[in-house]
């Protein structure tokens, strides 16, 4: 074990077989005292490791999980860039779920090494940041689109620069030449005057002796050769030949499979089950209660377990929640907004008075339903309890937090719990902190003396999710004599992260947002871009309403209101230009536009739609302009925009979880439909990195799309869509109206 002192930023240790292992020790916070105490603790935290071996290979150890967003390639790119490594010799490993690899920089990123784009209403940020740091220092969270912008920017880059510095010192000493005469390129060190050169691998064993200073200079982005150039993702080859091992693919000696059913009513309990009815079936080991609300059938294969579970008589105690239904919950949300027991989100000037003083007022009520994650790989977890030790296998967005939770569930000390990462068949927030499936696997494994792979059916996955919350929003504003909005007011139900999701980019002096809480009894979980999904729809639809009410072009209207937000304006104009906004859409089609900043990235989208004979919207094309500050792997970034758009489009067109008798109605893909190839629009993405602080990639593509589509529907049909999904609306009448007018 390497001992770390607070004075050191980067520490090295010689490897037994030659080469060097480098750890990055987190620098103490210098500006915010409370955070410094949190971060420093008894010593600095190790957050990143890189290994350089005698064969001149560089292995970057990444403390984040790969779900197809490309983080296992982007992080090594950032480190390799500062190291001047030969990309062909760079590889990666995922860090184990151990405190030594907690991603402290995530907390530090939140602490603002101030992102100037953070809205001013959040400038009580010191406390917010410190709270975040406390939460994040103990985790390896892959969420919030944070990996590249926090771990990458704060951790990987500095680790690469420090490793390079150490290698240069080692070469200078070994060749007895001045440090500043040494150059590096493609994983080699050069001294031109003497003609000496060596590979990093040859020099690595000596590098461990040098302690790099803090605050080494980083490269000028102008000189990047790896970052900013498209690189093939490391994880892809194993995903085209079936060799990638996902959680459902875990196979261990003696392992059995479990099918599980939990009480379909949230909060309900398991009352009774009659194991006799299935116990003698072929391949069935036995039937087990899990915790107080679920039952598992364990068998030698999944199908036998599923069949037996389906035949098993189970009695539930459905409890108090069995009365819940969607209609009543939405009515309660409306009533809560009318009653007005609000907390303030932000409040500048006097929005109500400003709107009332205007010659015209516009008011509209918007609504969105619950959404399921529906990852392609249903929730699953493999667990083995043996000799007082617990091993867990699965796909986790936050391995360390999952391991800490597993210790709590099992009652074992943390050091007796080992978590093994597998590939992950989609995350989108589901595999972060909502781990009911892992809890089940642990509680079942502790009743067994062999490993068990708990695999949910699609129906279980759909009905035992933690959902994107439903929400109702009352939007109100005035229009002054020139049609400009005054007195922006947003009242809505249920505040979710991130804190700034209701932020308004438009220059409206008097504005406020207020929230009522406690209206949604359905289990909540982070869902790709979290609260930005609903606020993107509310805000960008309502500003579009105001534009039309003012008789203005929706692009022009937004552009005027973004006079003080030049970055937003550029992105908005780029999306409009890509779409040919100035020219009319092809016959029978119309375009809508929306812009949203989330997770540090500004995204504008134009959607072009038509309405078919059944009154359903078809999205033909989406143009997407994006300013993420900087781009690490351009091809991956484009892929994440494509992905975020399709994910958001599924929600906009089809997505709806409904509640009846306290349980989820939708069961499987036939009644929770997805965008498929035939419905998928052509997507064109333009990357416009401006040098602003690095923003996220995984989530920001999702928030604008529902409003862009709904605004296009209005442009075509004069029918304003104020509730999702779109399939609930018959758009035929609207079209006839539009023709008549």
Interacting residues with other proteins (CB under 8 A):
67-69, 232-233, 235-246, 248-249, 251, 257, 282, 300-303, 306, 374-378, 423-428, 455, 457-458, 635-636, 639, 642-647, 668-670, 674-678, 680, 682-683
User: Closest CB to other proteins among 502 and 702?
Assistant: 702
User: Closest CB to other proteins among 242 and 388?
Assistant: 242
Smallest gap from Cβ 235 to other proteins, in A, equals 7
User: Closest CB to other proteins among 42 and 241?
Assistant: 241
Q: How far is CA 223 from CA 82, 227, 228, in A?
A: 10, 10, 10
Pairing of strands 46-52, 20-25: antiparallel
- Got the DSSP string for 232-291? --TTSGGGTSS---BGGG---TT-EEEEEEE-SSTT-EEEEE-THHHHTSTTEEEEEEET
Smallest gap from Cβ 248 to other proteins, in A, equals 6
Smallest gap from Cβ 88 to other proteins, in A, equals 16
Smallest gap from Cβ 708 to other proteins, in A, equals 16
In whole angstroms, what is the distance from residue 53 CA to residue 15 CA?
8
Question: What residue has token string 């770390």?
Answer: 4
> What SS3 string covers 359-379?
CEEEEEEEEECEECCCCCCCC
User: Closest CB to other proteins among 168 and 651?
Assistant: 651
Cβ-based neighbours of 42, under 8 Å, separated by 6 or more: none
Smallest gap from Cβ 632 to other proteins, in A, equals 15
User: Closest CB to other proteins among 13 and 680?
Assistant: 680
- Would you give the end-to-end CA distance of the chain in angstroms? 77
User: Closest CB to other proteins among 144 and 698?
Assistant: 698
Q: How far is CA 286 from the centre of its chain?
A: 38
Smallest gap from Cβ 25 to other proteins, in A, equals 33
Q: How many CA atoms lie within 13 A of 367 on its CB side?
A: 15
User: Closest CB to other proteins among 276 and 282?
Assistant: 282
User: Closest CB to other proteins among 21 and 652?
Assistant: 652
User: Closest CB to other proteins among 153 and 248?
Assistant: 248
Contact 133, 36 (CB under 8 A): no
Smallest gap from Cβ 61 to other proteins, in A, equals 22
Smallest gap from Cβ 459 to other proteins, in A, equals 8
User: Closest CB to other proteins among 112 and 648?
Assistant: 648
Smallest gap from Cβ 573 to other proteins, in A, equals 24
Question: Exposed/middle/buried for 340, CB within 10 Å: 0-12, 13-18, 19+?
Answer: exposed
User: Closest CB to other proteins among 102 and 423?
Assistant: 423
User: Closest CB to other proteins among 84 and 377?
Assistant: 377
In whole angstroms, what is the distance from residue 623 CA to residue 581 CA?
11
- Got the DSSP string for 124-189? -HHHHHHHHHHHHTT-----TT-IIIIIIIIIIHHHHHHHHHHHHHHHHHHHT--GGGEEEETTEE
Smallest gap from Cβ 679 to other proteins, in A, equals 9
Smallest gap from Cβ 654 to other proteins, in A, equals 12
Contact 48, 156 (CB under 8 A): yes
Smallest gap from Cβ 81 to other proteins, in A, equals 20
User: Closest CB to other proteins among 68 and 696?
Assistant: 68
User: Closest CB to other proteins among 121 and 370?
Assistant: 370
Whether a cis peptide bond, with omega within 30° of 0, leads into 201 is no
Smallest gap from Cβ 258 to other proteins, in A, equals 12
Question: Exposed/middle/buried for 418, CB within 10 Å: 0-12, 13-18, 19+?
Answer: middle
If phi > 0 it is left, if psi is from -120 to 50 it is alpha, else beta; for residue 432 that is alpha
Q: How far is CA 574 from CA 249, 580, 624, 672, in A?
A: 44, 10, 9, 34
Contact 362, 476 (CB under 8 A): yes
Q: Where are the beta strands (DSSP E) in 357-470?
A: 360-368, 380-386, 389-394, 417-421, 452-455
User: Closest CB to other proteins among 304 and 722?
Assistant: 304
Q: What's the sign of the alpha-carbon dihedral 192, 193, 195, 198?
A: negative
Query: What token pair was written down for 222?
Result: 């102008």
Smallest gap from Cβ 66 to other proteins, in A, equals 9
- Got the DSSP string for 164-182? HHHHHHHHHHHHT--GGGE
Report residue 125: phi and psi, to 5°.
-75, -20
In whole angstroms, what is the distance from residue 434 CA to residue 430 CA?
6
Smallest gap from Cβ 374 to other proteins, in A, equals 6
Contact 281, 308 (CB under 8 A): yes
Contact 200, 254 (CB under 8 A): no
């Amino acid at each position: 074990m390497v001992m770390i002192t607070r004075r050191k930023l980067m520490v090295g240790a010689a490897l037994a077989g030659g080469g060097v292992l480098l750890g990055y020790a987190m620098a103490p916070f210098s500006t915010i005292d409370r955070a410094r105490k949190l971060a420093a603790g008894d010593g600095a935290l190790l957050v990143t490791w890189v290994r350089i071996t005698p064969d001149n290979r560089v292995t970057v150890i990444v403390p984040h999980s790969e779900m197809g967003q490309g983080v296992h390639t982007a992080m090594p790119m950032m480190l390799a860039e500062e190291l001047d490594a030969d990309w062909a010799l760079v590889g990666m490993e995922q860090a184990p779920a151990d405190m030594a690899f907690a991603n402290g920089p995530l907390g530090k990123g939140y602490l603002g090494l101030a992102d100037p784009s953070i809205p001013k209403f959040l400038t009580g940020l010191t406390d917010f940041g410190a709270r975040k740091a406390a939460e994040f220092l103990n985790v390896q969270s892959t969420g919030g689109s944070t990996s590249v912008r926090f771990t990458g920017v704060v951790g990987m880059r500095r680790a690469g620069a420090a490793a390079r510095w150490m290698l240069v010192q080692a070469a200078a000493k070994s060749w007895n030449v001045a440090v500043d005469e040494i150059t590096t390129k493609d994983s080699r060190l050069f001294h031109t005057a003497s003609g000496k050169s060596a590979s990093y691998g040859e020099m690595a064993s000596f590098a461990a002796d040098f302690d790099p200073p803090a605050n080494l200079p980083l490269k000028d982005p102008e000189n990047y050769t790896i970052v900013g150039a498209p690189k093939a993702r490391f994880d892809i080859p194993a995903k085209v030949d079936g060799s990638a091992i996902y959680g459902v693919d875990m196979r261990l000696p003696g392992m059995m499979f479990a099918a599980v059913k939990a009480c379909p009513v949230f909060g309900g309990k398991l009352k009774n089950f009659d194991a006799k009815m299935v116990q003698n079936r072929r391949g069935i080991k036995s039937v087990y209660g899990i915790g107080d609300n679920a039952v598992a059938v364990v068998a030698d294969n999944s199908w036998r377990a599923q069949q037996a579970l389906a035949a098993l008589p189970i009695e539930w105690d459905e409890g108090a929640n069995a009365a819940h239904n969607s209609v009543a919950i939405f009515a309660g949300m409306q009533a809560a907004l009318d009653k007005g027991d609000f907390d303030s989100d932000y409040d500048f000037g006097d929005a109500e008075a400003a709107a009332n003083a205007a010659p015209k007022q516009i008011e509209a009520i918007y609504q969105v339903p619950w959404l399921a994650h529906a990852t392609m790989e249903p929730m699953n977890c493999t667990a083995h309890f043996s000799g007082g030790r617990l091993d867990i296998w699965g796909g986790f967005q936050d391995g360390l937090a999952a391991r800490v939770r597993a210790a709590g569930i099992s009652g074992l000390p943390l050091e007796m719990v080992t978590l093994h990462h597998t590939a992950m068949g989609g995350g989108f927030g589901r595999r972060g902190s909502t781990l009911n499936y892992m809890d089940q696997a642990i509680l079942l494994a502790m009743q067994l003396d062999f490993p068990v792979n708990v695999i949910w059916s699609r129906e279980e996955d759909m009905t035992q999710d933690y959902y994107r919350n439903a929400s109702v929003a009352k939007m109100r504003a005035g229009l002054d004599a020139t049609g400009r909005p005054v007195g922006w007011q947003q009242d809505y139900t249920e505040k979710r992260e991130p804190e700034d999701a209701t932020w308004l980019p438009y220059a409206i002096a008097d504005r406020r947002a207020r929230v009522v809480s406690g209206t949604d009894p359905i289990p909540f979980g982070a869902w790709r871009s979290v609260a930005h999904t609903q606020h993107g729809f509310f805000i960008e639809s309502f500003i579009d309403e105001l534009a039309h009410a003012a008789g203005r072009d929706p692009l022009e209207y937004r552009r005027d209101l973004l006079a003080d937000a030049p970055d937003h304006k550029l992105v908005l104009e780029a999306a409009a230009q890509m779409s040919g906004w100035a020219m009319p859409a092809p016959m029978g089609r119309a375009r809508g536009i929306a812009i949203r900043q989330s997770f540090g990235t500004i995204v504008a989208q134009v959607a072009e739609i038509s309405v078919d004979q059944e009154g359903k919207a078809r999205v033909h094309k989406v143009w997407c302009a994006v300013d993420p500050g900087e781009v690490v792997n351009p091809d991956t970034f484009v892929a994440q925009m494509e992905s975020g758009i399709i994910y958001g489009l599924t929600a906009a067109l089809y997505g709806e979880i409904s509640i009846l008798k306290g349980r989820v109605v939708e069961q499987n893909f036939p009644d929770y439909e997805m965008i498929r190839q035939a419905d998928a629009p052509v997507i064109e993405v333009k990357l416009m990195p401006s040098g602003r602080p690095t923003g996220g990639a995984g989530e920001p593509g999702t928030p604008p799309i529902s409003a862009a589509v709904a605004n296009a529907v209005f442009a075509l049909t004069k029918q304003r869509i104020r509730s999702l999904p779109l399939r609930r609306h018959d758009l035929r009448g609207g079209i006839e109206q539009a023709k008549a007018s």
